């Protein structure tokens, strides 16, 4: 009786079982996040590939569709895309 409270049915300690379950859950969440980012990057690439003309001037619609935010620092500018990727541009 004492052993069944502290261990699972196969003798593995319960704290190890819970730890492994949590690690599995975290890995599944991280995998889903990666897949979501891949999908957003693919959609962004497809959108850019479908553009009929070269981008030669500022396009408000394009900026709003692709860029999440731009952060200006003293030594660089960071552009964060809606796909989740970011680019640092040195000044």
Q: Show the tokens assigned to 58.
A: 């500022």
pLDDT of residue 49: 83
- Compute the average pLDDT of residues 4-31: 82
| Residue 9: pLDDT band with limits 50, 70, 90 | low
Residue 37's nearest CA partner among 69, 89, 76, 80 is: 80
As a whole number of angstroms, the distance between CA 10 and CA 19 comes to 16
32-61 tens-digit pLDDT: 989 988 888 888 888 878 877 777 888 888
- Compute the average pLDDT of residues 28-35: 92
| Residue 11: pLDDT band with limits 50, 70, 90 | confident
pLDDT of residue 1: 43
| Residue partners of 72: CB distance under 8 A and separation at least 6 | none
């Amino acid at each position: 009786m004492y052993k069944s409270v502290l261990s699972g049915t196969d003798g593995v300690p319960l704290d190890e079982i819970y730890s492994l379950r949590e690690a599995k859950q975290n890995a599944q969440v991280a995998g889903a996040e990666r897949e979501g980012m891949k999908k957003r990057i693919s959609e962004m690439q497809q959108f850019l590939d479908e553009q009929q003309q070269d981008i030669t001037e500022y396009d408000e619609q394009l900026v709003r569709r692709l860029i999440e935010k731009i952060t200006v620092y003293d030594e660089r500018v960071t552009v964060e895309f809606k796909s989740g990727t970011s680019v640092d541009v040195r000044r």
